[in-house]
Amino acid sequence: MALFFHSDDVDDLIPFKEAVTIAEEALKDLRSPKGTNAPRKRLHIHRDLGEGPYDTVLNVYAGGSASYGAIGAQVALHRKAIVENVQKRPPFNPDQTELALIYGVDSGSLLGLMAHRPRHVGGSADLRTPATSLAGLDRFARKDARSVGIYGSGHQAASTLLGLTELRKIDRAKVYSPTRAHREAFAEKMSRKAGVAVEPVDQPRMAAKDVEIILCMTNTNVPVIDGSWLEEGQYIISVIGSNIELVKSGNIASPRREIDDETLRRCSFVVALSKDQAIDSQQGDIYWPVQSGVITWDKVVEIADVLAGRAPGRTDDKQIILYKNQGGQGIIDIALAKRCYELARQHGKGYELNIRARENWWVQGGRSQPW
């Protein structure tokens, strides 16, 4: 029987380093017949009610990994609104609802149904995003990288910083947010939680000054970093994906950006979580700069190729490298969900679903007959 369980039952049983390993190993499977993945799909329905305009968005993530013995899909529903240059949740937004269907690769049977998605217990964001953002860290960041500049003061910024401190010895950090209260609260909270002195800065340029790793973890629709600020050897991680559906529906004028063109020009190369995703969703920080000639596809390498040894990572401490984690990929979601399923089974969590297979049928003379 299939197991129905909630990710909250097992959140604290997956160490962050293990989540990063799961993300890396699943991505490596994409370079063999052992892995499959489809670009994330987003379906939008625009509503303009008394409370204000917003979009209801259905996200579908599908993929599978033989290394983890699972294939399936995760669906997530949420709402979002655009306020000036910032993407926000409407004030009447309900909790994000997510379900993962986990099928056995070899058995073909439904193993489990997971409600929600695993969270990073040290932070407040989902586990998959910071784990994917920090995949390949040792291949792209300098070996001696120990300082961080952060753009954004929300859940993703907090969880990624915490995850980074589990993978590297971080000596100091700086944070910029356009809202003073937000950056100061983040600095105070994260200095305590991460055990790293986090300094709030009041100018965006200062967050990129004298640091080796830059985290762009914002909810902006326009670039937050200027390529002229970058210094030799820096590694930039950016997480925002696409909102091309909002452009097509007329809700915003141009595709979402977090990285400017000068940053792309100055990078030795750009790492993409998925070129297919960049093309399919016309992702603003890669697809449109390629279309306009700012960079070419030759400058973009997929992280799976680096993890599988098909392409080099950092080869010089002076290289500036950008990694675009463009949004969830099903192969990682399902690999993590399979691990959650195993832990739920192991610890007696969840409920058995009595899904009885129907009798086999065959058709004879135009009528269905029991076999």
pLDDT interval class at 364 (50, 70, 90): very low
Please say whether the beta carbons of 142 and 320 come within 8 A. Answer: no
Average pLDDT over residues 204-230: 95
Residue 368 has pLDDT above 50, yes or no: no
Lowest mean pLDDT among 94-98, 102-106, 292-296: 94-98
pLDDT of residue 47: 80
Length of the chain measured in residues: 371
Q: Hey, what's the torsion of the CAs at 177, 183, 189, 193, to 10 degrees?
A: 40
Residue 246 pLDDT > 70: no
The pLDDT tens digits for 312-355 are 999 999 999 999 998 889 999 999 999 999 999 999 999 998 87
Is the pLDDT reported for residue 249 higher than 70? no
Mean pLDDT within 211-219: 95
Angstrom CA distances, 217 to 81, 131, 352, stand at 18, 14, 38
pLDDT at 363: 44
Residue 102 has pLDDT above 80, yes or no: yes
The predicted structure's pLDDT at residue 367: 47
155-167 vs 16-29: helix crossing angle, rounded to 10:
90
**Mean pLDDT value across residues 207-219:** 96
Q: With 60 as the cut, is the pLDDT of residue 362 above it?
A: no
β-pairing verdict for 97-104 and 70-83: antiparallel
What is the pLDDT confidence band of residue 289, given thresholds at 50, 70 and 90? very high
81 pLDDT above the threshold of 60: yes
pLDDT at 369 (0 to 100)? 43
pLDDT of 370 higher than 50: no
219-236 pLDDT, tens per residue?
888 899 999 999 999 999
Instruction: Give residue 123's pLDDT band: very low, low, confident or very high (50, 70, 90).
Output: low
| 275 contacts 302 by C-beta, under 8 angstroms | yes
Over residues 143-192, the pLDDT tens digits come to 999 999 999 999 999 999 999 999 999 999 999 999 999 999 999 999 99
List, in order, residues 6 or more apart from 152 with CB less than 8 Å away.
Answer: 175, 177, 215, 216, 217, 218, 219, 224
DSSP assignment, residue 143?
T
pLDDT in tens, 1-50: 899 999 999 988 999 999 999 999 999 999 999 999 999 998 888 887 77
Q: For residue 127, what pLDDT is reported?
A: 92
Using an 8 Å Cβ cutoff, are 326 and 283 in contact? yes
Question: Helix, strand or coil for residue 159?
Answer: helix
CA distance 336 to 325: 17
